[in-house]
Amino acid sequence: MFGINLQNFLLILGFLSKEPNFSNCGFAKISPYINDKKVFFEKLSFKKNQDSLKKDRKDAGALKVKKEILQKNYQIYSDLLLKYDYIKIAEKLVGEKIYPYVVMHIINDKKTKELIWHRDQYFHGNAFVGPKFKLYKLAIYLQDTSKKNGVTGFIPKFLSPRIRNRYLDTIFAYFSSFLSIHPRLSMGEAIIFSGKIMHHRPRQKNNNYREAIIFSCTNNPNNLPDLKDNENEFLNVFLRSKINLGIK
Ligand SMILES: [Fe+2]
């Protein structure tokens, strides 16, 4: 409730355009057009395929599609990103090229705990933690998703000073979390966010599982020399699809 009021307040102050703007907030919404969404995303879903899932204790107990099954779907994920313009829209929002290199297919249920406030890339003292290149995450949600069923929440960039101590940074995030924004997304909508932005995954409060496909992305394939040489890596499946579809 408060989050929505805050959004309106910031709108009045002129900090936000109608949707969170990537350069101010560090995240933005992607709304592609997909025909007959319900059938389309049901086919992609693993909700009824529990055997394909594995609990990841390091990710607050979220359920993840097992690697060997995930790999068989690389072509489908890659086509999803390209044919439905997720990448094209995301590139416009961030103002540079985007190359997804890792994919994760994840389901939360009621047993999944909150994934606490954190950044994927940060300084702790003088040490830089996380990937040493430009990192974006692109998360596609397979059902209508809000704070009640675990949508990723953010503290906008302009409200969140980066503190060079990971513990203080997280404590500060909890104190300022009343300023956080939890987007309301409909089936098939996505969020692109910077690796440097403060975010969390709230605990699910209703019975709607949250299922999402999350891509780690960067701005240049040359950032990923190790992945570039292995043709089975998701990055290369994506690069081949791009050529096949005639996308620059
Ligand atoms: Fe994260």
Residue 223 CA to ligand 1 center (angstroms) comes to 20
Residue 246 CA to ligand 1 center (angstroms) comes to 32
Label residue 9 by pLDDT band (50, 70, 90): confident
Q: In total, how many domains does the chain have?
A: 1
Residue 25 CA to ligand 1 center (angstroms) comes to 16
User: Is the predicted pLDDT of residue 17 greater than 70, yes or no?
Assistant: no
Task: Give alpha helix (H) positions in the chain.
Answer: 2-13, 22-25, 37-44, 67-72, 74-83, 86-94, 166-175, 225-228, 234-244
State the residue for tokens 């990923």.
224
CA 149 to chain CA mean position, Å: 15
Tell me the C-alpha distance between 14 and 159, whole Å. 14
Residue 111 CA to ligand 1 center (angstroms) comes to 19
**pLDDT, tens digit, for every residue of 102-123?**
999 999 988 899 999 999 999 9
Residue 105 CA to ligand 1 center (angstroms) comes to 14
pLDDT value of position 227: 84
pTM, two decimals, is 0.92
User: Is the predicted pLDDT of residue 236 greater than 80, yes or no?
Assistant: yes
Residue 203 CA to ligand 1 center (angstroms) comes to 14
CATH of the domain at 187: 2.60.120.620
Q: Residue 64: which of 188, 213, 180 has the closest Cα?
A: 213
Q: Which domain holds residue 8?
A: 2-244
